[in-house]
Structure 1
Amino acid sequence: MDDLKPFAAGGAKILESTSGDLKGDGSTGVVLILAPPSAGVPESTEAPFRTVKILVRDNAGKLQEVVSNARLVPCATCGGIAGDPYGYTRIERGNFTVAIGGGSRERWSDEFTFTYVAARKNWFVTHAIRRVEDQDTGARKVIDLNAGDLGDIAFGDFDPSRLPEVALP
């Protein structure tokens, strides 16, 4: 964990770190979720999103940040009555998934999967599942988007707000 501290600069706090084979080559990388510093953010302002950083080891074995995204994981209070919307990060060989969710009567959840493309030395969104369910009526809707639906979007450029919304009628 000490080797992660330099990546949480400027008062940011490590919310979670998940290690695994991010590139599909047997090497271990880290998906780091950082919470921004709370000091200095006016109460009338919506808290900023968390930053997700992808770290891989260089030839000397030292972690290096290769890309980040500050639009993927909403703030701690952005999940509504359900609380913190950050769910989890899961790493499988050559890809990782970040899950978020929230709501109250209508519970929503999103899972975004990013797959490493060695020829381009980057991760690209390859799957997105957006769900909503009414806790009272049981009505639900799911949007399941694959790489063809999503287009060619690198991890650092990915913005969930540009995807189709999932909403109940």
Structure 2
Amino acid sequence: MDDLKAFVGNNRLLDSKTGDLDDSGRPGALLVLDPLAEGFGKLGEGPSRTVLLLVRNASGQLEKAAQNAKMVPCAQCGGIAGDPYSYAQVSKGQFTVVTEGGSREHWSNEYTFAYAPTQKDWQLHEVKREVTDQETGKHKALDLTPKDFGTMRFQDFDPATLPEVTLP
């Protein structure tokens, strides 16, 4: 069993998933790290979480490959729905992180990254954004691909640069 504590640092391990992140045939790990907070923060305020990607080096040890501190909002940033981190999943050569929240207007984001072996990096592959009015049932969804957002590396990804999905 790998010791993930060495990568957690001064954070709380919110989630971890294992799988072949870099299509190498060796299992890596995706960690979602939550900064340790003092007291209770205000709704909509607080530090974002860090998504950390770990891959195996030639000797089989896990090492940090990339990280992103903009993708998963703070614990109080999901509105009335609560913590906006929903889940992550890893499959061969790719991973997905899902966030959601809101109150009357429930929103969700699904970010999928695929490993690009020539760049030895993960690129944004697909984004699904949705919003539903819980009272009226109105729903709107956006499915975005690289033709919409261009080439975007995992560590440079900022959801704020993508089009928002809003109800009329």
TM-score normalised according to structure 2 size? 0.94
Hey, what does 1:94 align to over in structure 2?
93
Hey, what does 1:48 align to over in structure 2?
47
Hey, what does 2:147 align to over in structure 1?
148
Runs ≥4 residues deviating over 3 A: 40-45
Q: How does 1:9-158 map to 2 (within 5 A)?
A: 9=9, 11-39=10-38, 46-158=45-157
Residue-pair matches, total:
168
Q: Which amino acid aligns with 2:30?
A: V
CA contact (8 A) 2:44 2:74 kept: no
Q: Which amino acid aligns with 2:94?
A: N
SS in 2 for 1:131: strand
TM-fit CA distance, 1:148 = 1.5
TM-fit CA distance, 1:43 = 5.7
SS in 2 for 1:24: coil
Q: Report Cα offsets for 1:47-106 as digits up to 9, x if no partner.
A: 110000000011122110011000000011110111111011111111100000000000
Relative distance call for 1:44 and 1:78 in structure 2 (3 A) is closer
Mapped partners of 2:108, 2:43: distance in 1: 26
Hey, what does 2:6 align to over in structure 1?
6
CA contact (8 A) 1:80 1:103 kept: yes
Q: What are the ranges of 5 or more consecutive residues in structure 1 without an aligned counterpart?
A: none
Relative distance call for 1:102 and 1:118 in structure 2 (3 A) is same
Relative distance call for 1:44 and 1:82 in structure 2 (3 A) is closer
CA contact (8 A) 1:53 1:69 kept: yes
TM-score normalised according to structure 1 size? 0.94
Mapped partners of 2:125, 2:162: distance in 1: 13
Mapped partners of 1:45, 1:91: distance in 2: 28
Hey, what does 2:159 align to over in structure 1?
160
Mapped partners of 2:3, 2:60: distance in 1: 11
Relative distance call for 1:124 and 1:34 in structure 2 (3 A) is same
Task: Please give the root-mean-square deviation of Cα atoms over the aligned residues, in Å.
Answer: 1.8
Relative distance call for 1:148 and 1:78 in structure 2 (3 A) is same
Q: What are the ranges of 5 or more consecutive residues in structure 2 without an aligned counterpart?
A: none
SS in 2 for 1:161: helix
TM-fit CA distance, 1:39 = 2.7
CA contact (8 A) 1:140 1:168 kept: yes
Q: Report Cα offsets for 1:111-150 as digits up to 9, x if no partner.
A: 0000000110000001000000000100010010012212
Relative distance call for 1:103 and 1:42 in structure 2 (3 A) is closer
